[in-house]
Amino acid sequence: MPDSPRQAYEELIRRVRETALLGSCAGVLHWDRETYMPRKGAEHRASQLALLAGMTHAQFTDPRIGELIAAAEGSDVVADPLSDAAVNVRELRRSYDRATRLPRDLVEELARVTSLAHGEWVEARKRSDFARFRPWLERVVALKVREADCYGHSGNRYDALLEDYEPGATTAWIAGVLGPLRDELVKLLDAIQGASRRPDAALLARSYPLPQQEMFGRVAAAAIGFDFEAGRLDTVAHPFCSGLGPGDTRLTTRYNEHDFGDAFFSILHEAGHGLYDQGLPAEHWGTPRGECVSLGIHESQSRMWENLVARSHAFWRHFFPIARQFFPAALGDVSLDAFHFAINAVRPSFIRVDADEVTYNLHIVLRFELEQALLGGDLPVADLPGAWNERFTRLLGLTPPDDAQGCLQDTHWSGGGIGYFPTYTLGNLAAAQLFAAASRAIPDLRDQFARGHFADLLGWLRTNIHQQGMRHRAPRLIEVVTGRPLSHEPLMAHLWGKFGALYGL
């Protein structure tokens, strides 16, 4: 007797949750690889991850999954298009159709090669030795070309890979977003560079002992709502957040005794990601209703807490006296206003994760251009350092002195994350637009920050973003929550308002 639509849907959810559990096991191994795994364990770890990737792929692409999706589609189970069941079936159809286009051997090879490439990237970056990483990047790019071609596209492989990170986005749409934003940012940067006011950024390079940095970062992350009983903080080469499942969200950072912001703002950034993961509806874990809508929306949460909250004057009216207690030698003679100006200093720099709010998105423009050229075969991997330096000089007026501060600085390409970078700019745009909407809904929001109260903002995000899961695709979610389509205008209004006041523009 054939399954009823309800029975089919229930079996579908049971199966995809089992697949999600298997995927979360791989997530733990990825996290361990970047935190505590001995370097000589790389080969074995690559084999483990390849096996799990192949098993997960086989489990999710089982023809039975397709049958169950088809049985639920068009039935009363999904009659309400915004119901939990309809959202799950819609998104599982999309994921299933994509996954079934990839052969298992490609999935396993991608997992194996990217795991090994990550270790080689770490060593190459330490030595600023692109030649060491080059053969691995060539293998990664070749595999991503094959993956894009398996997915299918209308002549632009980049479109096929964008879909993994930002469903529905196209290269043309991203270019249409980045172009006007780039032009506006260049105008603002020119105005700032011509201003007479200058912050004393050197005060952030004083001695900030690492144990105190970690403790202070934990205090701030906990204050904005990160639950350390359901998470932890560790040290890595390149900070990230791993949401492994309900009750287990891992933050990471890196420390520099003579750079206060390196660890502190990366902790607040990753805590923003962690708050999203901790806020997803646990009862829907393992299904689209319990997953983030896109990486751009995920990034909006981290950038909001890092920049619109933690770099605000109101935030430091509460936290600066506490920071002085942690770092009396470094901050004892520093005023709140001087500190606030210093942490918001605008100056072109080599490293993306250290970039200020004004220049950050220019780093994304660079990577967006290079990724398309790599995938399209217009840029051989061997020529990447030169192409990076030429474009970097054109965009930011600086020439990287070595590859560690140039094309080797990010981990994404070692992990196969081609198509990932544009989501950072989408996140910045969404963060500003969402924060403006939250400020309208909570008129005394900044006064709350000054009192060390962040629960109302977190509650607003929980209701409007986190608990929604994948109910809406990202563009629709922004429109539903803010009342207008995603635009660069809220971000530019924020930047001109903030930096205009700081630099006297």
Q: Could you give the angle at the alpha carbon of 90 between the alpha carbons of 89 and 96, nearest 5°?
A: 80
Ranges of residues in the chain whose predicted pLDDT is under 50: none
Contact 374, 418 (CB under 8 A): yes
Task: Tokens for 29, please give them.
Answer: 């191994």
| DSSP label at residue 2 | P
Q: Which CATH number fits domain 171-503: 1.10.1370.30, 3.40.228.10, 3.40.630.30, 1.25.40.10?
A: 1.10.1370.30
328: enclosing H helix or E strand? helix 328-331
| DSSP label at residue 244 | E
Predicted confidence at residue 2, as pLDDT, reads 63
Q: In the chain, how long is the greatest CA-to-CA distance?
A: 80
Residue 73 annotated to the active site: no
d(CA 441, CA 444): 9
Predicted confidence at residue 354, as pLDDT, reads 87
Predicted confidence at residue 3, as pLDDT, reads 75
Return the closest-CA partner of residue 279 out of 222, 234, 241, 227.
227
Q: Does residue 79 sit in helix, strand or coil?
A: coil
The residues, any chain, with a CB within 8 Å of residue 102's CB and separated by 6 or more, are: 57, 147, 150, 151
Predicted confidence at residue 382, as pLDDT, reads 97
**CA-CA distances (angstroms) from residue 97 to 62, 69, 78, 151, 234?**
12, 11, 19, 9, 37
Q: How many CB atoms lie within 10 A of CB 180?
A: 13
Strand ranges in 228-365 using DSSP code E only, listed in sequence order: 231-235, 241-245, 248-253
Centroid of chain to Cα 408 = 18
Q: Which of 147, 163, 270, 299 is catalytic?
A: 270
Predicted confidence at residue 52, as pLDDT, reads 96
Q: How many CB atoms lie within 10 A of CB 420?
A: 21
Contact 202, 252 (CB under 8 A): no
Task: Tokens for 322, please give them.
Answer: 């506490």
Helix (DSSP H) and strand (DSSP E) numbers for the chain: 21, 3
**CA-CA distances (angstroms) from residue 352 to 200, 369, 405, 487?**
21, 15, 9, 23
The phi, psi pair for 242, rounded to 5°, reads: -120, 115
